Structure 1
Amino acid sequence: MRIAIVDYGSGNLRSAAKAFERVVAEDGLAAEVTVTADAEAVARADRIVLPGVGAFADCKAGLTALPGMVAALEQAVLAKGRPFLGICVGMQLLATTGREHGEHAGLGWIKGEVVPVSPADPALKVPHMGWNELAFAADAHPVLAGLPPAAHAYFVHSYRFACADGADQLATVEYGGAIAAMVGRGNIVGTQFHPEKSQATGLKVISNFLRWAP
């Protein structure tokens, strides 16, 4: 199994790669983890991970600047149905539109928009940062299988994914209101939290993703 972590100049690449390599080793999987900016390598991958840290527009620009990368992603993920995981801004880029410092087009794979986190409780600070409990949708997604009801994950973000279709929201976190913690549709999933920084919860999510057969 070839696992491609896309390097587009934005992301927690080292920690993400180390987390995936750890899961591969501990689960005894016959898999190779590659951090790459090469569109052809992404097109050949069996599983694709898009990390992301920073502003929506900067991340989209970095991705678009890689020759052939968006086309390779669309071919592998949309046309061939390869499992895809977006992390943090890598998840937000799945949206139709990002509204961080203006209005910017996303990949449009999952309908919705990225809007500011605005807690109802003024005592809650933005960015939303730290460990919070996940709440799962009624029909638990396979990538969330086996997690305990009070599983906690690590978040750091100032914007959130507002899904147009509630069925695409797979898990939430409470922060002055419900915020999408995981979204997904078909062979595509994305986490607002950082699996690579979420210890046992994150490693389980990665393990599930690597075994997922959408």
Structure 2
Amino acid sequence: MRIYIALLLSTLFSSHFIVAQQVIEINPGVKLTFPSPPSLLDTLGQRVYDYSDANGYYACILKMNAVSVDKLANLDRPKFYKTIFESMQDPSHQCRLVNQSSGSISDVPFADFYSTCKPDPDFPDVRFKRLILLGSDLYIIDYWTYQSNASKSHENKDLFFNSLKLENISVAPFIPSAINSSNSQKIDWSSYTWVFGIIGALVIILFFLRKKPKK
């Protein structure tokens, strides 16, 4: 009898967890699962989804047409990702890059960044970021939390980041041999003035995050 009760409770808790999640179609064929429905800031060429709870802060910024199609073949993606990451850092937060790693989804490479920042009651100080370029669109996925939740931070980050699903989308496979040497290739920042728009959106998000009461 106890076994049946345990199984019933397990099923109920599992069902509640599944219902509580919210799958968002960020772009046609690109889906990301948030713990609950996120808020949306939709501007010309850019969409920002964000949600926060007791476990942390979850966000996805979609920048459409971040890289022109004619530059994709010779784009040094690792260098591109690192430069975008560095450009989004707020010096006042005094963040330190702890680890940088890479991986791929459906042969599309991404870069992960793990940072710790100075303690601040208004902003999470443990921060994870994933950058992935799908075609010409850039996805910036964030999970931030506090040191008090550090023991679960990697698990929560993995659940959120790994919920990214690519379904029926056509993206040219990434071919490393097509990339020029990072020493000889320079990024033309005149083509990436949109980065300042992303930074502006991040500032707005941080402002509202600061105003949200902690649970």
TM-score by length of 2: 0.28
Rg comparison, structure with higher value: 2
TM-score by length of 1: 0.29
**Larger RCO, structure (CA 8 Å, separation 6 or more):** 2
